[in-house]
Amino acid sequence: MPLTGTLDVRPGEADLPLVVPSGEEPWQLERVAQLQLLYEIDDAAMLSLIPPALHPTIPPTVFVNVLKVPDSPVGPFTMAQVRIGCRSAARPRAFLRRAYCDSQAAVEVLRERWGYPAAPGAVRLEKRHYEVVAEVDVAGTRILEGRMLSPEAISGGDVQYISNVNLARIERDGATLTRLIQVDPDFVFHSAERGQPVVDRLDPDAWQLPGAKPVFPVSASYAVADIQMPHLRYLVDPQKRPMEAVERI
């Protein structure tokens, strides 16, 4: 039998973002810089990090993604995510429990339109000629330090960003349901680089991913791309088995 997650999402439902689907036009974000660090994690927490609707990756993985948006409908912002690699049925996805963003206006819209479990934090992404550095501080405590060393130019076609599944509440047919919301932006790349991933610090509890301990570096990329945020299309009931869980909006 395929492995599925064991995380019970019900205890924290009251704190989840509330999404009300609307017909608003998707955001078009230009020349967004993004750092992605991919690590294998300790397999002791492989199933407890994801709900029953998702399969784990084998080996289990964690993605660190930090985006620097120079302009948006709510102004510039920088956002960090730490996500767990998974599959929704046969499709590769990344499960997000917590994000931090340095713009309160962006936090509110990201929560309301796409179900990002975002909270305010000091997020920094800086590119130097020999490395790219990402840091996140919340209430004066450093919860993330990551780097990409020795960058080398590659084609944007060599970069793949896995779509999110964000845990949120959503209003449908007069009811409020807890669902995993698929968020699958489109990317048009201007430049891309790869390098050596280094995670110097990651506080799993601050990212609501207890046990997500990075143990083996896999890959790192840094890219500049235009991003179109999507209309919502698919929901997943987190407590159902994978093949029974998908719903179309």
Q: What would the DSSP string read from start to end of 188-242?
A: EEEEEEEEEEEEEEE-TTTTT-TT--EEEEEEEEEEEEEEEPPPP-EEE-TTS-H
- What's this model's pTM, rounded to 2 decimal places? 0.95
Q: Is residue 87 part of a domain?
A: yes
Note down the domain range covering 151: 10-248
Whether residue 234 contacts residue 248, with contact meaning beta carbons closer than 8 Å, is answered with yes
Q: Give the pLDDT confidence score for residue 25 in this predicted structure.
A: 84
| Bridge pairing between strands 77-88 and 61-69 | antiparallel
Which residues neighbour 58 within 8 Å (Cβ) at sequence distance 6 or greater? 3, 46
d(CA 22, CA 42): 40
**Percentages helix, strand, coil for the chain, rounded to the nearest 5?**
10, 55, 35
Q: Is residue 154 part of a domain?
A: yes
Q: Give the pLDDT confidence score for residue 226 in this predicted structure.
A: 98
Residue 46: DSSP 8-state: T
Query: Which of 94, 92, 48, 88 has the alpha carbon at shortest distance from 243?
Result: 88
Q: Give the pLDDT confidence score for residue 134 in this predicted structure.
A: 98
Q: Is residue 162 part of a domain?
A: yes
SS3 (DSSP) at 94: strand
Location of structure tokens 């996500």: 83
Whether omega for the bond prior to residue 59 falls within 30 degrees of 0, making it cis, is yes
Whether residue 94 contacts residue 164, with contact meaning beta carbons closer than 8 Å, is answered with yes
Q: Give the pLDDT confidence score for residue 24 in this predicted structure.
A: 79
d(CA 10, CA 84): 19
Q: Is residue 4 part of a domain?
A: no
Q: Is residue 65 part of a domain?
A: yes
Location of structure tokens 């998908």: 246
Per run of 10 residues, the mean pLDDT along the chain (length 249 residues) is 90 91 86 98 94 96 98 98 94 96 98 97 96 97 98 94 96 88 96 98 97 96 97 91 79
Q: Give the pLDDT confidence score for residue 1 in this predicted structure.
A: 65
Whether residue 110 contacts residue 65, with contact meaning beta carbons closer than 8 Å, is answered with no
Cα torsion angle, 138, 144, 150, 156, sign: negative
Q: Is residue 3 part of a domain?
A: no
**What is the H or E stretch that residue 82 is in?**
strand 77-88
Q: Give the pLDDT confidence score for residue 133 in this predicted structure.
A: 98
Q: In CATH, what number is assigned to the domain containing residue 100? A: 2.40.400.10
Q: Give the pLDDT confidence score for residue 244 in this predicted structure.
A: 80
Length of the chain: 249
Q: Is residue 138 part of a domain?
A: yes
How many domains is the chain built from? 1
Distance from chain centroid for Cα 18 = 17
Q: Is residue 2 part of a domain?
A: no
